[in-house]
Chains A and B, each alone.
Chain A
């Protein structure tokens, strides 16, 4: 089983749609969780940390389910500028070996 697994997509959605991405991780000792976005040939940019209580930042909502070792990202009212690859990122407890998922590609169309 991969350490961090994501549906590669691509997800093709119209502007204004709601889209959800899922991510599973294999190491139950993982402590810190993040969503990043990456545009083509650019650096990963932090979208948000993911907390056990769930968190929201504008149109973006992240959820963590430790029991199921599952993280999700919901994007509401998709914009053309949301087109990117979304990366699920996991850090272990007491360690720094940060594991990136392979990413889920999103295309938002007019």
Chain B
């Protein structure tokens, strides 16, 4: 069964550093998403991506964040100058253009110290 994969599973970084979180969406999906879940809180939408551009972003997704599809398989989330409050689980998801059912990767736990 096709699945979304994410690397790394856990990333520890120091405040002010840049991190890149990687995702490989399901191969025939066209829509890609990033979400954040702070421990004990709900899943929050960050950004959606279609046809090599951002289709929608939330107020959380400010200039500190960027997304890219550098090749035909990877989808990345870059967080510049990380802050303590960026510590969270980051989930990537992908969906098709018919059902829009989103399938999630296992997440990257980001810890900013």
Contacts and interface: CB of A to CB of B under 8 A. Distances in A.
Interface stretch (A14-22, A40-48, A64-72): A40-48
Given A46-B101, A49-B101, A100 B43 contact: yes
A84 interface: no
A96 B31 contact: yes
Contacts of A58: none
Contacts, number: 50
Contact of B44 (A41, A49, A91, A100): A100
B45 A99 contact: yes
Contacts of A98: 33, 35, 45, 48, 102
A43 B91 contact: yes
Given A43-B105, A96-B31, A97-B56, A49 B45 contact: no
A32 B97 CA distance: 12
Given A96-B31, A97-B56, A100-B45, 4 more contacts: A34-B102, A43-B106, A98-B45, A98-B48
17 contacts: A42-B106, A42-B107, A43-B91, A43-B105, A43-B106, A46-B101, A46-B102, A49-B101, A96-B50, A97-B45, A97-B56, A98-B33, A98-B45, A98-B102, A99-B45, A100-B35, A102-B41
Interface of A: 32, 34, 38, 41-46, 49, 87, 91, 95-103
